[in-house]
Structure 1
Amino acid sequence: MATTEECRAALEKLSQNMQSAEGDVRTAASLDRSVSCWITDLDVTFAGRMTGGRIVVRDTLQGPPREKAQIRLTMTGDDLVALVAGELHFAKAWGSGRVKLEAGLRDLFHLRKLL
């Protein structure tokens, strides 16, 4: 099982990947939105902001998200690490229910370019 530190490192790696993206992916990554990522097996939520083409984690909280972020992810720590490492395909994980993504319709439209 992935640790809280490994999950935070995976989010940092995802942020770095977003920042170095080009074209439509870079445009999608440039959204300015609140973000939460609830790691269910650790019962930890990383809360922050997607801004400037990267994800900035501001808080690590025990339990599920306390506030409704504009972009909400839910998954296990192992799935987060595997997604960022390229070992798990987002669409397949989302389709099977291993990963949940909640956002407004307009944001989902933009985020599909990241996936």
Structure 2
Amino acid sequence: MATVEECRAALDKLVEQFHGISQEDRAKHVVERRLACHISDIGVTFFGRLHRGGLDPFKEVPPEDGRPAEVKLTLKSEDLISMVNGELDMARALFGGRVKIDASLGDLLRLRKLL
């Protein structure tokens, strides 16, 4: 089991990686969405925002507007770190039950093109 700090570092790395996606691809596949990433084994949820300009840093505090996240991920800390480091494929993790995503079908299809 990873620590909260290790999960936060992995999410920071994910934000950096997302900024490496071309603006053209982001313009084609990204719409503004609020994100929640629940780390089930340590009981922490991180909140972020995806938009055409990039991916905002994740925080442990829900957004002030009180609106729920449109995309919710649930996974274990070690799986988060493995996915961000490229050691665990998101599709395999999803189909293997290691990651749960609660999002609309349209959002899932758009995210698939970015991951």
Where has structure 1 moved over 3 Å in runs of 4 or more?
Answer: 27-30
Instruction: Give ranges in structure 1 of 5+ residues lacking alignment.
Output: none
Deviation string 1:41-81 (CA, Å, 9 cap, x unpaired) is 000000121132113323347xxxx9741011000000000
- Alpha carbons 1:75, 1:100 under 8 Å: kept: yes
Normalising by structure 1, we get a TM-score of 0.84
> Which shows bigger deviation, 30-39 or 47-56?
47-56
Of Structure 1 and Structure 2, the greater strand share is in 1
Look up the match of 1:99: 99
Look up the match of 1:56: 57
Percent identity over the alignment? Answer: 43
> Which amino acid in the other structure matches residue 58 of structure 1?
K
> Which amino acid in the other structure matches residue 92 of structure 2?
K
- How many residues are matched? 111
Normalising by structure 2, we get a TM-score of 0.84
Give the deviation of 1:6 after TM superposition. 0.7
Instruction: Give ranges in structure 2 of 5+ residues lacking alignment.
Output: none
Q: What is the 5 A alignment of 1:1-115?
A: 1-22=1-22, 25-27=25-27, 30-51=30-51, 52-60=53-61, 68-115=68-115
